[in-house]
Structure 1
Amino acid sequence: APDAPDAPGAPGAPGTPVPAASPEGGGRPAGGMSRRLFVARVVGGAAAAAAAGTVGYGTYGVLRGPSVKRVTVPLAKLARGAHGYRIAVVSDIHIGPVLGRAHTQRIVDAINATQPDLVAVVGDLVDGSVADLGSAAEPLARLRARDGSFFVTGNHEYFSGADAWVDHVRELGLTPLRNDRVEIGGFDLAGVDDVAGEREGQGPDFARALGDRDRARAAVLLAHQPVVIHEAVRHGVDLQLSGHTHGGQLWPANYLAEMANPTLAGLERYGDTQLYVSRGAGAWGPPVRVGAPSDITVVELASRET
């Protein structure tokens, strides 16, 4: 006998609605999005919020200004009378359109509060010309230290008119050390131009800065980039103070900085020479630091004779 026509309401019968898929199976709930899509959007939103929070906190840290670190460095040849000598090391201030005069003033205030014996400004002071940023650097004239403030060029000075900036910082009361040295109590303080100056016929000249000195005295070298450490070792330097790396500043630049520099941040030894690398007091590019907070470091020299 022929099949009877489907009864109205029977499953699969014409005009009968098909039930919605169960949400437990990852399908689409009636009147809503799938659970999988909902979870993906929640996770994505949380990741975006976390990223925004991290960037915001990193920006706040830069605009707030650097913290002060203290590091003790024993030097075998340091005269006993220089035991406890304090050098305020600041690098990579990066005065520019975003980090301007107020940024400079915050750094000066933080340095002066440490009451250092000497201030060392270790390059990358600016990102722009004296004509544009000279007034933003003027608070440097208020740096206070018993034995003065000293400056060496960084690679960014050579993007911004190094000779003009050297003249300007001299007018503000800092002493530029351009492949030169001075005697400071129980040690020699030397400074070399940055390697970026080689494109302009300048650059570091270790023989001129250190060649004829008395090697029985301790020597502290100001050099912007850590990569010159091997020349410092060859010339009998006891301590090199550098910056340049920003401690990586933020991911993934930290990996690139670590590959390009012998020391990313902090104190390390190379033979008889110690190298201290500051993370810097400002930022380059976006004013953001993640995992590498800005700093000013008070390096306290210690004599082993005491």
Structure 2
Amino acid sequence: MVILFALLALGVMVAANWYVWRRLFRDTTAAPGWVRRAGAGLIAGGWALFVGAMVAERTDAPFWLQRTLAWPGFLWLALALYLFLAVVAGEFVRPLLRILLDRRRPERTTATETRRTEPEPATVGGPPAKPRPGPQPEPESAESGGSGGSGSGQPTGPSRRLFVSRVVAGAAAAAAVGTVGYGTYGVLRGPGVKRVTVPLAKLPRAAHGFRIAVVSDIHLSPVLGRGFAQKVVDTINSTQPDLIAVVGDLVDGSVANLGPAAAPLAGLRARHGAYFVTGNHEYFSGAGEWVEEVRRLGLLPLENARTELPYLDLAGVNDIAGENEGQGPDFARALGDRDRARTCVLLAHQPVQIDEAVEHGVDLQLSGHTHGGQLWPGNLVAAAANPTLAGLERHGDTQLYVSRGAGAWGPPTRVGAPSDITVVQLASKRA
């Protein structure tokens, strides 16, 4: 079944890329030539770079090689997606453009024929010129090829088809490049700040207004490095939070490669400290080493553990991916013996962990993982796989807040799901 699924997926990919090549390169050229060959090379080369980037990351290749392949390889993935979507959208534009050209063509053809049937002007001082004997030339057909139509420049015949294909292909390529470019700029300029107020019934009046800066899915990598980490730290510190919660997927790579990129995290500042829980990508990157590294940088890892703050309990559980290493989430250990009269805030990377949080009487769970879909229409898939895609929702007596994340995985691009750092302000109903 796995082999059949892989073959099916490969077949779909090949068909999709052939379709894109046909619409962008074959249908826009009158005959085979270097343009079609260059288009095939561009598409094949883009996918080769993407596969190379994935292999280099998974095999822990030299970091310089990972950086070299990551930028073009992962950006190609985003560009290929939006080229395909734009070309599909172009199928709806194509017939409309043809109708527009057809409506304009008869008027121009009639005008041309009228000019050709007018009598020739009389010569000076003599009778009007007589038509020449013999067959007269036929009026140029509106469907003839030639130089592309009448003297008006209206495209006809094969030139008309090329004109439509080139207009649609050019618009599709421009839309795809513009979308990816703007989405990449949005990631690289750093996350914005989002503010959410969460009322909690058991929160003491003295804790009213307590602020937690929630950041998830920073995804430091060969693409997003030290400069990006510094932007995240500066943005968090600018909100002057009471507590900082880093809820997983901090990195995509080893401590040896990305330790320098993560160094700015030592500058995080909050009155009650900064806390960390693992995400699934930590278990692809050496979770044990990263837990020790963030501890060295001054963050406090909560590995199925809880700490009692003056006004609330703060707990954290490991990510589900840790189960493969015997380090999965343990809610009983983190929450089993706590005083349920106190407010409890839980840090858990994946929203799907909400069911166990409800069972253990958690008041608020803070999560990430979904990226809000990251690349539209990926939000449809992410929404189907998670109880909450992004934002605040209630599940039983527990509220769940899901951040869209600060960074990006794979392509450093977001479309329809802007990155954020959220300041969650707790509100006491007793205030």
Aligned residue type for 1:182: T
2:156 counterpart of 1:31: no
1:248 pairs, out of 353, 357, 373, with 373
Change in 2 beyond 3 A, CA 1:122/1:9 = farther
Compute the displacement of 1:40 (Å).
Answer: 3.1
2:140 counterpart of 1:20: yes
- 1:140 counterpart residue number: 265
- 2:178 counterpart residue number: 53
Distance 1:296 1:170 in 2: 21
Compute the displacement of 1:278 (Å).
Answer: 0.2
Change in 2 beyond 3 A, CA 1:192/1:28 = farther
Aligned residue type for 1:241: L
- 2:361 counterpart residue number: 236
Task: Give 1:204-223 correspondences, 5 Å limit.
Answer: 204-223=329-348
2:410 counterpart of 1:285: yes
The answer to whether the 8 A contact 1:140-1:172 is kept is: yes
Aligned residue type for 1:90: V
2:202 counterpart of 1:77: yes
- SS of the aligned residue for 2:280 comes to coil
Unpaired segments ≥5 residues, structure 2? 1-131, 149-154
- 1:14 counterpart residue number: none
Compute the displacement of 1:21 (Å).
Answer: 1.6
Distance 1:292 1:28 in 2: 49
- 1:130 counterpart residue number: 255
- CA offsets, 1:221-245, max 9 Å, x none? 0000000000000000000000000
Distance 1:88 1:287 in 2: 23
Give the TM-score taking structure 1 as reference length. 0.92
Aligned residue type for 2:380: Y
- 2:223 counterpart residue number: 98
Aligned residue type for 2:378: A
Identity among equivalent positions (%) equals 76
- SS of the aligned residue for 2:417 comes to coil
Compute the displacement of 1:36 (Å).
Answer: 4.0
Unpaired segments ≥5 residues, structure 1? 1-6, 12-16
Distance 1:18 1:264 in 2: 66
2:418 counterpart of 1:298: no
Aligned residue type for 1:305: R
Aligned residue type for 1:97: P
- 2:300 counterpart residue number: 175
- 2:7 counterpart residue number: none
- CA offsets, 1:34-77, max 9 Å, x none? 33431332122112212211110000000000000000000001
Give the TM-score taking structure 2 as reference length. 0.66
Compute the displacement of 1:202 (Å).
Answer: 0.9
- SS of the aligned residue for 2:394 comes to strand
Distance 1:262 1:19 in 2: 68
2:312 counterpart of 1:152: no
Paired positions, count: 291
Distance 1:97 1:28 in 2: 56
Compute the displacement of 1:30 (Å).
Answer: 3.8
**Larger C-alpha radius of gyration, 1 or 2?**
2
Compute the displacement of 1:251 (Å).
Answer: 2.1
Compute the displacement of 1:19 (Å).
Answer: 4.2
- SS of the aligned residue for 1:107 comes to helix
Aligned residue type for 2:140: A
2:383 counterpart of 1:258: yes
Q: Output the aligned Cα RMSD.
A: 1.4
The answer to whether the 8 A contact 1:122-1:224 is kept is: yes
- CA offsets, 1:232-278, max 9 Å, x none? 00000000000000000012321211111100000000010000000
- CA offsets, 1:87-118, max 9 Å, x none? 00000000000000000000000000000000
Distance 1:169 1:20 in 2: 77
Change in 2 beyond 3 A, CA 1:9/1:263 = farther
- SS of the aligned residue for 1:88 comes to strand
